[in-house]
Each structure stands twice: as structure tokens, then as C-alpha cells.
Structure 1
């Protein structure tokens, strides 16, 4: 498909980005539009209107996902799927997820204007609630589509004791229907899934590359560590006679950081929160909880972090006569992008004279769950300064337009592509 000049689409992208940015929660920093909030509810009505304006048939499925359909010549063929999310973290920016939805709508405009008629239906999805939330479960909409949302998930509670099921119900999504929702499993599986997204890192900008083609999405291991010592008067208990749970937790913070610093490329480890059970300013902490995570696209290193950190944290806590108890959960395993989708995206960029680089993703995405349903790929565009999940998050409309052009042509190539059952491992680069 001939790709339109980038200048032809920046105006529409600017208008769409500005329109969606109007929806944010008052009194919160940046562009806050968290899942189940009023600002998010209102914004999705606006997104549905944008889908209709792009010529799509629009509906909201049983999981709360917004789905816009561009009819293909053969409605019986498995559909192509693209999209992302429009919810944000508290104090987030204007581009994370958003460019994957608004960029997909612009790709639809380009396809219609070029006269390119797809054989398959093209579905543009605004997935419900991709970002983390107080219920501790991200990617709500794509999990449901993949048949991975469970009754136990719906029973999860937030800090106030409200269940996820109740949050769904208040948002207008029937939680009982979620458990019987078949999504896109079985015979309803898509032909392929492709997502446009900002990099949320600095690699592309540092290398001067306009496009990144994702090779893999990081695995995430999350831990909760409880440190138990003895409460004492902070003014009278001698320093060498304390069982201070906070000191043991501080040692764990450093151990987790050291694990991340010693990781192979694309490995990180982060402590996100410490909680002292006592609110008194003059009591030696006796119960402290630590929350953290470890991420990498290196399965071997990631699988070893549990044992290494458990041993190190327990040993350091014992030095302070404090008991340490760790519990782990896997948010998602390492997910590899389809080699064929990577190749087609690279071909699309190269055909347009656009440089690209194979890159891993250190953030998780709806693409993780879509990969369980169909060959999956992602196209990255640069993030200024590598900043994301903050008001300073920025990607220029020219950069977004470049990504949209590659997205549109890759979708055309995917439309006629026959996937091989034999994995293809070639990765090409214009470097």
C-alpha cells in the first residue's frame, strides 16, 4: 500500500490527542484517567464517537472493551486486531496507550482514503483498564478476551475493601457475564494482533531511530515481603538491642536494587512501597511490609531471582534478628513477539525508507494477553527523554505519524500473510 505523507495526518492526530486530553480527573496531577473513574467513563464515550467518525461499526463487549469494526471483503475470515488503551496511571501523560488507539483510527482513515480494501475485518480495540489499579490486576480487558479473568480475580479487593466485581458493576459491566464471556478464544481467535505504542524508554531516541520493532515483552515477578521484629520504645531501647523490622526492610531494598544492577541487559528490580504497621513516631518498627518487582526478557535470569533474593533478604534480616517472609506472584512470563509479524513490520518500514531497530519492551502491554490468541507484534515510536507515566511524557505528532504509516502498511501485509507453523527466527534491521 502506498504510504501517505506524514504531513497529511499530523493535523488530525493533533486534534485527536488534544480532544482526548480534555478528559482527566480534577485535582490530580498530569493527565489522570484511571480505570473505573468518571473521567475515564466520559472519555470512552468520546472515543466511541471517534471510532464512528472514522467509519467503524462500534460496540462495547461484555468485558467493557470498545471495539470498532472496519468490514473486510470476507466476513468469515479471521479478523486483524489493533489498538491499545486510553486509561492512565495517576499523574500520567497523554501518549501511553493513547497513540495505539488514536493511531489505529488514523490508520483506518489512511486505508479508506487510499482505497485499500482488506480481505479481513479490521478491529480497533480500546481495551478496558490496561494500567495497574488498586485491585492489583492490570490488562483487565485483554485478560477477559483471552479467557484469563477468573472468579478469584473478581473477588480481589482494593484498599477500602471494595471488590473488583463491584467496581465492574458500578462501571456498567455485568461481573456475572464476565465469567461466561468467551472473548476471542476457540474459533473466534484473530488472524494477528499489532499494537502501536510509545517506547517508554530512551533507546530509540538515543540511537536516533524513528521505529522500534518489539522482539519480546518483559516477564514480571512481584514480591511482598513481611519483616517481623519487636516493638520497643524508640527513645529508651539501646541501638544494639533492637529487632528493628524497618532496618531489615531497608537492607532488603538495597538487596533488590543490587539484584537489578547485576542483571543482564534489560533486567531491572524495583521496590515500590514500604508500609509500617505502626503509625507511632516513637516506636521501633515491629512489622514492615515491602512491595517490589523484578523484570527481564531473560527467562533464565528472571527465574533465578526468587531464590537469590529469598536467600539474600533472609540472611540480611537474620543479622538484625528479624524474621522475613516472602511471597511471590508472576504478573506475566516473558512473551516473544511473532517472528513473522516482526519481519512484516520491518519490511513495511524499510519499504518507506524509515529506519528501525529491534528492541525489547520493559513494560507490559495488552499485547501480552493477545499473544495467547494470535501472532502478536508491536511497533514502538520514541519517547522524549525516555520518560513515561508522568506529565512530561512526550512524543511528537510527526513521530506518531511515522508510526501510523508503518502500522497501516503492516496491517495490509498481515491481511494476506499466511502464517507458518514453523517459527521463523530471522530478524532484519536497517542499522
Structure 2
């Protein structure tokens, strides 16, 4: 790439991150731009205009995804798709998802300016609401595009009692038409998502790129500990059935489960709530919330039995009963071997060192994998920080990621057959 083009790419990416970060909830910490919020609503016209300025034809699909199209020579050929999301978690940072959208827009701009029209249409997508939200459901836009958003999902309610379906309506989208996404029904050649790593591995190894091998599966649970409500001043320690102590043992069991994973695996207790608010009552009902993640489907499939048995046994020694509610956020999804190979070859051609790497976070790519061969390209995250105001990726690293994305899309465009899954 010519030096002048590199400088322009750097400047556009730097300006894009800065301008998009101004759309945030100023009453919340960090760069908060949660789905359905006013800050998110305001940011979407900026994103659409950014796509138009790059030469893309832009429309909003029925699922709320912003889609920019760079026309190819053969409209009947299976299209290429790239993109990510621009919403954030509460108190989040400026780069998670944003890098994948701005990088995809700039990749399309570079391809359009390159003098050789792609054979296939290129679709750049800013997916609606990738981050987990008050309704407890992530990847809303990609989930709907893949027809994996259910009527039961739309009945989910937030802390105010407002349903997800009502939130869609208030945001100007028709809940009855969310799966009416024509671009996702047409044949697709491949989906490639550029993203920050959200972990420390690339930075620690001094590598500019990671090519994702698999995206973690996620199992979530609520453990309810039932003991006995007794006076905290008059009940001896040995006579107590303390639900809080049982929950504390449960927290330690969750940590031990994650530490014992044979490959990539983590386990986290995210919240512990006591039903009692009195300072002088032994807790009798405590709920513990947690999740387990791994790219090893065999290990993850056994976690309910292993962890449930361990927590139950520890609670029983304390005279406390425990019940579980389990839910699966998503199964382990392997990236397409064909797309991995193409992305690796593209990086090699550019002289960029890389490593294969699993993703411990979920992404829109999980749901796009049901529609097309899927791949992801990671760039480094400073200190591995993400989902916090300290989240940071340098403009230089983002530009390298965008160049790798361009080279990958060019190689995928030239293939006569879809990459292998």
C-alpha cells in the first residue's frame, strides 16, 4: 500500500474512533452506548453516513442491522460479508466491535479505490445490539438474520418489566418482521469479522494478528441455596444452615472448575444476592449467578454434571439445599478451516506474522457461521483490557487489521467455490 494511502487510512480510522466515541450516555461511566439507548440511536446515522462516504449503498434491514453494499461485477455470485457492531456494554470502551465496523468500512473504501471491481458484492454490516443487555440476550441483529431469534426471546423482560418486543417497537422496528432479512437469505461466500482480541496474548507475544480457530461456548447458571433463617446473635456457628457460606463454597468451586480445564476454559461467578436484607439474620436464601466458557465442547458439555455435583456436595455438608437453573448462550463454534487458511495466506503475503488463537468472547460471527463459512481476524488489545474504559487498541494495529481484512476479502472474492467449513 502506498505511503499516502497508509497515512489516509490511519487518519480516517483515528478520526472515526474519536467521532463515534462522542455518541455515549454521559450519565454513565466510560463510553456507554447500549442497544436501544438514545446515544445508540443517535450514533447510527453517523455510521450510515460513514458507509455512504466510503461509496457504499446503505439500507437498514428489518432486524435493525445497517448494511452497506459495494457492488460486484456479478450480482448473482454469492456475496462476501464483513462487519461487527457499534453498541457497547455499560461502562465499556471505544474499540470493542467498533474496530470491526470502521475497519470493514475502510476495507471497502480501499477496495473501491483499488481500480479493480470485486467479482462479488461486498456487504459491510453494523449488527444491531451484539452486547449482552438488560434482556439477557446478545447478538440481536445477527441472531435475527440467522433466524435464531425466537418469540420466547421477544417476551423477555428487563428490570422495568418492559419486553424485548416492546423495546424493538419503541426503537422503530417491527418485532413481527425481524427475520425478514433478504441479504441473509441469499447465498453467501464467506463472513469475516475484524475484532480486538479482548485478551493479552497477541500483545504479550508481540504479534500484530491472530486468526481465530473457534469461538467459545457459554453455559450460564443460577444456583439457589436454601438454608435456615436464624438469629445471627443467638444461633451457634455449628447449629447454622447458612446459605451464604454455602454460596461462598460455590464460588470457590466455580473457580476450581475453571482452573481445572484441560485446554482453554474459564469459569466466573458474576453475582451473589441474599434474599434477606436484615443485618442480624443468618442468610436463608442466596442466589449465585455464574458462567462457564470453553472452546472444548467435550469439557463444556460435562460442566453441568461436574459443577452441579461439587456445589451440591459442599452445600450438603453445611446442611444447605441447592437447586440449579442452567441456560446455554451458545455452543462452541469452530471457524471455517478454509477461511482460516485464506486469512493466514493473506497475512503471509503482506509479511505480517500471526498465530492461531481461540476466542474466549462471543461475537456476531457465531450466528453468521450458520449462513456462511466464517472467520475472524484479531488485533492486539493493550494489557488485554476490554469492556472497560481502559480498553485500547492503537490506530497502527487497527490499520494493519484493516489491510489484512482487505487482502483476505480479495482472496475470498477470487475463489470459485465456497471455503470449506
Band the TM-score falls in, shorter-chain normalisation: over 0.9
Matches of 1:61 and 1:84, distance apart in 2: 15
| Residue of structure 1 equivalent to 2:349 | 351
Runs of 4+ in 1 over 3 A off after TM superposition: 1-8, 182-186, 418-423
| Residue of structure 1 equivalent to 2:326 | 328
Matches of 1:389 and 1:159, distance apart in 2: 22
Q: Does the CA contact (< 8 Å) of 1:147 and 1:185 recur in 2?
A: no
Q: Does the CA contact (< 8 Å) of 1:62 and 1:173 recur in 2?
A: yes
* Alignment map for 1:21-40 (pairs within 5 Å): 21-40=21-40
RMSD of aligned alpha carbons:
1.6
| Residue of structure 1 equivalent to 2:143 | 143
* Alignment map for 1:15-414 (pairs within 5 Å): 15-178=15-178, 181=180, 186=185, 188-414=186-412
What's the CA shift for 1:265? 2.9
Q: Structure 1 pair 407/185, CA: closer, same or farther in 2 (3 Å)?
A: closer
Q: Which stretch shows the higher mean deviation, 288-297 or 274-283? A: 274-283
Matches of 2:184 and 2:229, distance apart in 1: 53
Q: Does the CA contact (< 8 Å) of 1:268 and 1:296 recur in 2?
A: yes
Matches of 2:355 and 2:419, distance apart in 1: 26
CA shift digits 1:175-225 (9 cap, x unpaired): 1222x5255555x14211000000001111111110100010011111111
TM-score (norm 1): 0.95
Q: Structure 1 pair 37/140, CA: closer, same or farther in 2 (3 Å)?
A: same
Q: Structure 1 pair 245/184, CA: closer, same or farther in 2 (3 Å)?
A: farther
| Residue of structure 2 equivalent to 1:427 | none
What's the CA shift for 1:6? 3.6
CA shift digits 1:285-309 (9 cap, x unpaired): 1111111110111111111111110
CA shift digits 1:253-303 (9 cap, x unpaired): 000000001112321000101111122222211111111110111111111
Matches of 1:422 and 1:369, distance apart in 2: 17
Q: Secondary structure, in 3 states, of the residue corresponding to 2:82?
A: strand
What's the CA shift for 1:119? 0.9
The count of residues paired between Structure 1 and Structure 2 equals: 421
Q: Does the CA contact (< 8 Å) of 1:223 and 1:293 recur in 2?
A: yes
Q: Secondary structure, in 3 states, of the residue corresponding to 1:191?
A: strand
Please list every run of 5 or more consecutive structure 2 residues that lacks an aligned counterpart in the other structure. none
Q: Does the CA contact (< 8 Å) of 2:31 and 2:91 recur in 1?
A: yes
| Residue of structure 2 equivalent to 1:428 | none
Matches of 1:83 and 1:404, distance apart in 2: 11
Q: Does the CA contact (< 8 Å) of 1:6 and 1:402 recur in 2?
A: no
Q: Secondary structure, in 3 states, of the residue corresponding to 1:153?
A: helix
What's the CA shift for 1:20? 0.1
Matches of 1:259 and 1:422, distance apart in 2: 34
Matches of 2:267 and 2:338, distance apart in 1: 31
Q: Structure 1 pair 420/85, CA: closer, same or farther in 2 (3 Å)?
A: closer
Matches of 2:184 and 2:83, distance apart in 1: 18
Please list every run of 5 or more consecutive structure 1 residues that lacks an aligned counterpart in the other structure. 424-431
Matches of 2:161 and 2:75, distance apart in 1: 45
What's the CA shift for 1:3? 10
Matches of 1:173 and 1:69, distance apart in 2: 21
